[in-house]
Structure 1
Amino acid sequence: MELDDKGHDQAQALVGRVKGLPIKAVVRSPLLRCRLTVEPLAAELGLEPVIDDRLAEVDYGQWTGLALKDLMKEPLWAVVQQQPSAAVFPGGEGLAQVQARAVAAVREHDRRLAVEHGHDVLWIACTHGDVIKSVVADALGTHLDSFQRITADPASISVIRYTPMRPFVLHVNHTGAELASALSAPPPAPDDKSANDAVVGGSTD
C-alpha cells in the first residue's frame, strides 16, 4: 500500500524529529509503506535499511482488505479486543505468533548491534501498529491480552532500551516535533552494571 500525502509528509518529518541523535542502523518491515517511511531518514543518515520479514504486518488472512464495520460483526472481533493472545486470523496468523517473531527480531538486532559497536546503540525498527504494540507490551512485562491499551499512531516513535536485566521503556507513541529525552547521553560502559538498574524514585538528574 502506498503512502498518501500525509504519510509522505510524516516520513519527511521523521528526519527532523530525530535530528542529532546517534542512530547507527535502520531495520524495516518488507512492506512498501515501511520502505517509503524510512527512505528519507535512511538517506539523511547514510544508512542502508536492513529488511527483516519478522517485522512484517500481521497476516490478517481472510480479514485483509475488509471494512472495519464488517469485521466488527465477526465473533473473532471480540476475541481480538478482549483476549488477543487467543486470536488467530482465518487463513492468517495469530497475534501471539506476531509478538513472538517481532520481539525475537528486535532483541536479536539489538544484541547484534551492541556487539558490533561494543556498547548499546540507538537504532530504528520501522514496522506496523499491532506489531509495535506487541513489542512494547513485552518490554513493559504486560500480557498480550492487555496490548490493546497501548497506542501506536502512524509515524509515532516508541523507544525501548534493552539491558541484560530488563528492558526500559523510554517513550511510547511519541508524536512530538523532536525526540531527544534520555537519548543523547553517551552509552553506558560495557562493565557498568548500574545501567541495568532502575533508579529508585526516578531520575536523580
Structure 2
Amino acid sequence: MPTLILVRHGRSTANTAGVLAGRTPGVALDERGTAQAAALPGRLAVLPLAAVVTSPLQRCRETLRPLLDARPDLVAHTEERINECDYGDWSGRKLAELADEQLMSVVQRHPSSAAFPGGESLRAMQARAVDAVRDWNARIGSGHGDDAAYVMCSHGDIIKALVADALGMHLDLFQRIHVDPCSVTAIRYTRLRPFLLRLGDTGDLASLAPRERTDGAEPAAHPATGTEADAEVGGGAGAP
C-alpha cells in the first residue's frame, strides 16, 4: 500500500499569537511559515509524488502553493475529512485563557472523552481522518501502485491522531505526540500493519525515496500555559 507523507501547515499568524484558530477563516501563514512553505519543494524533491491532498483551510493551501508551483503536474485535491478539529466555542480564543477551562484537563488526560462545546469530539475527529486516509490509500494504490507516495497537508491534532492510529495507540495517548509546523510525518501502509517512518521531521527526506528493487518484486514547557506536562492543543508554533 502507499506511503503517506503528512505535512503540517507552516507556522500561522494564529500560532504566533497563541490563538486556537480552529476553522476560523482568514488565518494565513506568518513570515516564518511562508519561508517554511518555500523550502518544502526542495525537501520533497527526491520523492516521486502520485498526488497531493489538502485540508480546505487557507494555511494548508498556502503551505502547498510553492510545491504545486514547482510541480505543475500535481493538482491539490481538497479533502474535508482532514480539516482542522472543530473546536466550536473555543475557536479564536487565546490558549492561555483556555488553560483555565475545566475541559482542558480532559483534553490533556482523557481526550477520547473530550468534546468541544459547539464543536466536535476528538474521537470523531480521529475517526473521520482515519477514514480519509484509508480511502486515499486505496485510491492511490489502485491508480499508482503500492510503491506510490502522496502528500496530505493537514493540522497538528489531525496528524497526531493519525500517528496514534498507525501505532495502535489509544487516543488517550495521542497528546504524547508532537509535530512542528511544516514538519513531515511519513507512514508506510501495508496489508497487515502501518510503519511509522518519520515523525515531525524537519530535515533531509532523501531516505524516504523508493529503493531500487533487486528481486523484481520498507521536554519543553508549554508556550501558552508554561506547564511542562501539557500538550499544545492545535499543534503550537514550533521552536522559537
TM over 0.5: yes
5 Å matches for 1:175-194? Answer: 175-176=202-203, 178-186=204-212
Q: Which whole-Å deviations, capped at 9, do the CAs of 1:92-147 have from their partners, x for residues lacking one?
A: 00001110000111121111111001333110000000000000000011111000
5 Å matches for 1:10-159? Answer: 10-46=36-72, 47-159=74-186
Structure 2 residue runs of 5 or longer lacking an equivalent are: 1-26, 219-240
User: How far apart are the structure 1 equivalents of 2:179 and 2:213?
Assistant: 27
Does structure 1 retain, via aligned residues, the 8 Å contact 2:84–2:155? yes
* Deviation for aligned residue 1:69: 1.4
Structure 1 residue runs of 5 or longer lacking an equivalent are: 196-205
5 Å matches for 1:164-179? Answer: 164-176=191-203, 178-179=204-205
* Deviation for aligned residue 1:182: 3.8
Q: Which has the higher contact order (CA 8 A, sep 6+)?
A: 2
User: Structure 1 residues 11, 166: CA separation in 2 closer, same or farther (over 3 Å shift)?
Assistant: same
TM-score by structure 1 length? 0.89
User: How far apart are the structure 2 equivalents of 1:186 and 1:55?
Assistant: 32
Amino acid at match of 1:42: L
Once superposed, what is the RMSD of the aligned Cα atoms? Answer: 1.7
Choose between structure 1 and 2: higher helix proportion: 1
Q: Which whole-Å deviations, capped at 9, do the CAs of 1:13-63 have from their partners, x for residues lacking one?
A: 111111121111100000000000001112212211000000100000000
User: Structure 1 residues 32, 186: CA separation in 2 closer, same or farther (over 3 Å shift)?
Assistant: farther
User: Structure 1 residues 171, 7: CA separation in 2 closer, same or farther (over 3 Å shift)?
Assistant: same
Amino acid at match of 1:170: L
TM-score by structure 2 length? 0.76
Identity of aligned residues (%): 49
